[in-house]
Chain A
Amino acid sequence: MITKDQIVRWLEKTAAVLQENKSYLTDLDSAIGDADHGTNMDRGFRKVMEKLPTVSDKDIGNILKTVGMTLISSVGGASGPLYGTFFMRSGMAMASKEELSDEDLFKLLQAGVEGVLQRGRPNLEDKTMYDAWAPTLEAMQNALTAGMGTVELMETAVAACEQGMKNTIPLQARKGRASYLGERSIGHQDPGATSSYLMLNALLETVKE
């Protein structure tokens, strides 16, 4: 069971972790992009932190939708509409919920990833954040079927996500700014996959508390 307070704490942790990793993400983006991913994400989640107190008494769906709208209007770049759509969709999927089952948690992420797919139309191995999310969802689905508890479920998810993130290193980018580098994009970890991993790991840390 995940409470609303835990969802709020997850978002706070995400904001903190993105701030800590701002230069790390930007460095990753300077290798294959335009050196703004860390700044973009940090700007967005700082805005989320400003907005959060105004909605923390609302239901989980509402909170997530507010996060989505805030990211859409403050991040810019490719990741703004992608993460914005992610949270908008996950919010819609969790409409009027005050707490979540493990199954709900999976559906929350699944709906978010559907949003990323519709917005960015990434394929597997295009070297994007989707390469971190696809194995995450698959691992979670299996873990749910196996009847794992929340912490174990999230540990499995994060491990798959981390592997997906690392698997972007040898890939040649076919989407986004990095695609213009052609073969020169090989050998670098995708910044968007990395921020996705950080976000999911923050969720694991929250459920472990």
Chain B
Amino acid sequence: MKKLINDVENVVREQLEGMALAHPELKVNYDPYFVVRADAPVEGKVALVSGGGSGHEPMHGGFVGMGMLDGACPGEVFTSPTPDQMYECAKAVDSGAGVLFLVKNYTGDVLNFETAAELAYAEGIKVQSILIDDDAAVKDSLYTAGRRGVGTTVIVEKIVGAAAEAGYDLDQCADLARKVNMYGRSIGIALTSCIVPAAGKPTFDLGDGEFEFGIGIHGEPGRKRLPMTSVDEITAMMATAVLDDEAYSRTVREWDNEEGSWVEKELTDEPFKSGDSVIAFVNSMGGTPVSELYAVYRKLAAECEARGVTIARNLIGPYITSLEMQGCSLTLVKTDDEILKFWDAAVNTPGLRWGV
């Protein structure tokens, strides 16, 4: 293993210390770990909190700032953070307008955030929790833990962050987050594995001549392993997996502030169709250069056009990574006027910045 680290034990802490030095507009708390806007709580504004294992930078800490997240809770590399982090972070950012948890659908993240929501509620904080589950590589929700939360997370954080800034209340923010998640689908591929520092060896083995189709952001197995081929062929497969994906149904749990309990909701994502307008997000898993992402985008644009789908906006670069993994993911999110307005709104974070 060759990595720019000191002691494996201190990887997350030292990286947070560096982040704190580089970004005085953020405040880093070390016991327990969380990152918040230095100006939090923002008077009258709903606060957005997300979190997850480290190793996906800039997500989530790099998305803390005006127009996006109020707080982020980093876990150890690829391990979900714990409820005390989320709860303390929620307390630090709550202005009284409530806190929205944006939770990627991994059992660890879900169970820890659910525990935190109960703790925050018991403390008198209004909370809501929305699940991001957009990974089209996972077909069914009945026999698995359901679709994993991947690229759409970045889009949800940006759009709902802008809405909160514009004065949406907690329920409106939750509704918008749910909608954007249901409008979004992703698929990822890996050309190489990655090495979790504490493990010291590659998460999985992938031969020189093959790639994994449908990989998750922690190296979770995809749909299949295939012989390596051209960017056009790989992109066409990815575009098909997303654009031609059928309706997807699952049951999610959301928090009911009135009852103080969880309620189950049955949600169905409708497939894309001709005439749709989308945000197209081509993401590097960390090791793939931006230049190759443009080659992916070139083919993706053609695939969208062939299906009568218009790309209204795009985002291209490393935003939700898997350490040094070579590979990319593709996310399409259907848009409407509300979504586009908040996508275009100003954002000022270490990882995403425009309009300021």
Which A positions have Cβ atoms within 8 angstroms of B? 34-36, 39-40, 72-78, 80-82, 84-85, 119-120, 172, 174-177, 179-182, 184
Q: Is B198 an interface residue (CB 8 A)?
A: yes
In the complex, what residues of B have CB within 8 A of residue A85's CB?
115
Assembly CA distance A181 to B32 (angstroms): 33
Which A residues are in CB contact (< 8 Å) with B145? 175-177, 179-180
18 contacts between A and B (CB under 8 A): A34-B78, A34-B203, A34-B218, A35-B199, A72-B82, A75-B82, A76-B76, A76-B108, A77-B80, A80-B82, A81-B83, A81-B114, A84-B115, A174-B144, A177-B145, A177-B220, A179-B145, A180-B144
15 new A-B contacts, CB < 8 A, other than A77-B108, A175-B107, A177-B220, are: A34-B219, A73-B83, A73-B84, A74-B82, A76-B80, A76-B81, A78-B107, A78-B111, A80-B80, A81-B112, A84-B115, A120-B107, A174-B144, A180-B138, A180-B144
B198 partner residues in chain A, CB cutoff 8 A: 39
| With A73-B82, A74-B82: A180-B220 Cβ-Cβ less than 8 Å | yes
Do A76 and B82 contact each other (CB < 8 Å), given the known contacts A39-B198, A175-B145?
A: yes
65-120 of chain B: CB within 8 A of chain A: 75-76, 78-84, 106-108, 111-112, 114-115
Q: Which of A35, A73, A74, A82 has the most CB of B within 10 A?
A: A73
Chain A residues with CB below 8 A from B219, complex form: 34
Given A84-B115, A184-B221, verify A179-B79 contact (CB < 8 Å).
no
Residue of B nearest to A79 (CB): B108
Chain A residues near B80: list those with CB within 8 A.
76-78, 80
Interface, chain B (partner A; CB < 8 A): 32, 75-76, 78-84, 106-108, 111-112, 114-115, 138, 143-145, 148, 198-199, 203, 216, 218-221
User: Is the beta-carbon distance between B32 and A177 smaller than 8 angstroms?
Assistant: no
The 3 closest A-B pairs by CB, nearest first: A81-B111, A179-B144, A73-B84
CB distance from B113 to the nearest CB of A (A): 9
Q: Are A72 and B83 in contact (CB under 8 A)?
A: yes
A111 and B150 alpha carbons, distance in the complex (Å): 35
Complex Cα distance, B108 from A141, in Å, reads 31
Give min CB distance, A114 to chain B, whole Å. 15
Given A177-B220, A180-B220: A76 and B112 interface contact (C-beta under 8 Å): yes
- Contact at A174–B81, with CB atoms within 8 Å? no
Our pick among B32, B108, B114, B199 for the contact of A73 (Cβ within 8 Å) is: B32
* Closest-CB distance, B135 to chain A (whole angstroms): 9
* A74 to chain B: closest residue by CB: B82
Enumerate chain B residues within 8 angstroms of A180, measured Cβ to Cβ.
138, 144-145, 148, 216, 220-221
Chain B residues whose CB sits within 8 angstroms of the CB of A182 once the complex forms:
143-144
Q: Which of A74, A119, A175 has a CB less than 8 Å from the CB of B114?
A: A119
Which residues of the other chain, B, contact A176 by a CB distance below 8 angstroms?
107, 145
The answer to whether B220 and A80 have CB atoms under 8 Å apart is no
> Pick the contact of B112 from A80, A177, A181 — CB < 8 Å?
A80
Cβ contact of B79, chosen from A77, A174, A175, cutoff 8 A: A77
Complex CA distance for A172 and B142, rounded to whole angstroms: 13
Verify A119–B106 contact, CB threshold 8 A: no
- Residues of A within 8 Å of B199, CB to CB, are 35
Q: How far is the CA of A78 from the CA of B220 in the complex (A)?
A: 15
Q: In the assembled complex, how far is the CB of residue B118 from the closest CB belonging to chain A, in whole angstroms?
A: 10
Closest to A174 in B: B143
B115 touches A119 (CB 8 A): yes
Q: How far is the CB of B138 from chain A (nearest CB, A)?
A: 7
* A39–B77 alpha-carbon span in the complex (Å): 13
The CA-CA distance from A179 to B199 in the complex, in Å, is 22
The residue of chain B having its C-beta at the shortest distance from the C-beta of A172 within the complex is B143
A27 to chain B, nearest CB (A): 12
The chain B residue sitting closest to A121, CB to CB, is: B253
Does A76 lie within 8 Å of B114, measured CB to CB?
no
A196 to chain B, nearest CB (A): 16
**Least Cβ distance of A55 to chain B in Å?**
18
CB contacts (< 8 Å) of A174 on chain B: these are: 143-144
The CA of A186 and the CA of B199, in the complex, are separated in Å by 24
CA distance A120 to B262 in the complex (A): 13
Pairwise interchain contact B82-A36, C-beta atoms closer than 8 A:
no
Determine the chain B residues whose CB is within 8 A of the CB of A35 once the complex forms: 199
Which residue of chain A lies nearest to B80 when distances are taken between CB atoms in the complex?
Answer: A76
Per a CB cutoff under 8 Å, which of A119, A179, A184 touches B111?
Answer: A119
A56 to B108, CA, bound (A): 30
Question: CB-CB < 8 A to A172: which residues of B?
Answer: 143
Task: Determine how close the nearest CB of chain A comes to the CB of B253; give it in whole angstroms.
Answer: 9
